[in-house]
């Protein structure tokens, strides 16, 4: 199995301005992400950005980067352009590693790519892990910054939401252990589907939830979900998340 990792990096962010360049113990976050992704079995790791500043930060740390258009409405649209710039064949596997996941697991990247290679009926694959009914699990379940996913019996996604799903009627807002899945922002696609993605009409659900993967489900395509027992490191959406990751990096040093 051969695949490429592409990391989309948009400089503008409503919750955390200049997020890709945020300092994480001496390195820009986008460089941290690319270096973690390089620990996977990917044959190449490329950052796709709309920012000269991000390009310069990557080049300063020997991370390959491409300058893409600034008018893309989603990370997948940016990846589609990157596939063209890289000249990828339509059947080549591409893993989208979010630029705000500096603690992403290399094994999760590999598992996501492998799952798509095994699921011919799917145009995408992604990763999730079970939330437990602890205080921390309940907090993640209720947190709109933590995306949840529900699947069918074959491990295919039924819906993604920022809302607490599935809603346990008698659970008083807590997840039923093992039934609630936290979505990990990691996706694999075939390059051909990535090129087709921008031609699909934007879904009303995608606009409401601000989750681009809902466009895929809206148009009747299937997304396979790898459920891992490994709890991922925290992503960075807010200044509080940034402080948390800094503390984890310091502790691991």
> Three-class SS of residue 80?
helix
Confidence of residue 82 (pLDDT cuts 50, 70, 90): very high
Of 10-14, 21-25, 214-218, 222-226, the one with minimum mean pLDDT is 10-14
For residue 173, pLDDT beyond 70: no
pLDDT at 72: 84
CB 10 within 8 A of CB 78: yes
d(CA 204, CA 188): 23
Predicted confidence band at 95 (pLDDT cuts at 50, 70, 90)?
A: very high
pLDDT (0 to 100) of residue 108:
95
**Does residue 243 fall inside a structural domain?**
no
- pLDDT attached to residue 222: 97
- Residue 246: inside a domain: no
Determine, yes or no, domain membership for 244: no
Mean pLDDT score of the chain, rounded to an integer? 91
Nearest to 129 by CA among 103, 153, 147, 110: 147
Lowest-confidence pick of 37-51, 84-98, 165-179, 219-233: 165-179
Rounded distance, CA 24 to CA 250, Å? 9
Where residue 167 sits, what CATH number does that domain have? 3.90.550.10
Position 123 scores a pLDDT of 95
Distances (CA, A) of 84 to 50, 66, 68, 91: 15, 11, 10, 13
Residue 228 clears pLDDT 70, i.e. is over it: yes
Q: Specify the pLDDT at position 57.
A: 96
The string of pLDDT tens digits covering residues 180-222 is: 899 998 999 999 999 999 899 999 999 999 999 999 999 999 9
Confidence of residue 4 (pLDDT cuts 50, 70, 90): very high
For 22-62, the pLDDT digits (tens) are 999 999 999 999 999 999 999 999 999 999 999 999 999 99
Average pLDDT over residues 126-144: 89
Provide mean pLDDT across the span 165-176.
76
Using the predicted structure, report yes or no on whether residue 138 has a pLDDT greater than 90. Answer: no
Domain coverage including residue 46: 3-232
Q: What percent of the chain has pLDDT over 90?
A: 74
In a domain, 12, yes or no: yes
238 within a domain of the structure (yes/no): no
> Does residue 225 form part of some domain?
yes
**What is the reported pLDDT for 226?**
97
d(CA 176, CA 174): 7
pLDDT tier at 177 (50, 70, 90 boundaries)? low
Number of structural domains found in the chain: 1
User: Cα separation of 241 and 233, whole Å?
Assistant: 11
Quick check: is 248 in a domain? no
Match 């460089």 to its residue by tokens: 31
Residue 201 lies in a domain: yes
């Amino acid at each position: 199995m051969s695949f490429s990792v592409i990391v989309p990096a948009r400089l503008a962010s409503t919750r955390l301005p200049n997020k890709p360049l945020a300092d994480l113990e001496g390195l820009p976050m986008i460089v941290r992400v690319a270096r973690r992704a390089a620990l996977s079995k990917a044959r190449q790791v490329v950052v796709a950005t709309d920012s000269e500043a991000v390009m310069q930060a990557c080049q300063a740390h020997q991370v390959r980067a491409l300058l893409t258009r600034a008018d893309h409405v989603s990370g997948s649209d940016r990846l589609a352009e990157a596939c063209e710039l890289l000249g990828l064949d339509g059947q080549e596997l591409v893993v989208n590693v979010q630029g705000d996941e500096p603690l992403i697991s290399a094994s999760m990247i590999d598992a996501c790519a492998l799952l798509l290679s095994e699921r011919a009926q799917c145009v995408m694959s992604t990763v999730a892990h079970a939330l437990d009914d602890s205080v921390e699990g309940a907090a993640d379940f209720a947190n709109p910054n933590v995306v949840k996913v529900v699947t069918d019996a074959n491990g295919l996604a039924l819906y993604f939401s920022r809302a607490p799903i599935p809603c346990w009627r008698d659970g008083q807002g807590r997840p039923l252990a093992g039934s609630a899945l936290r979505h990990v922002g990691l996706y694999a696609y075939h390059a051909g589907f990535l090129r087709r993605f921008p031609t699909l009409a934007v879904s009303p659900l995608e606009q409401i939830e601000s989750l681009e993967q809902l466009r895929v489900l809206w148009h009747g395509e299937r997304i396979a979900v790898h459920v891992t027992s490994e709890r991922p490191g925290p992503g960075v959406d807010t200044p509080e998340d940034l402080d948390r990751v800094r503390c984890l990096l310091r502790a691991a040093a």
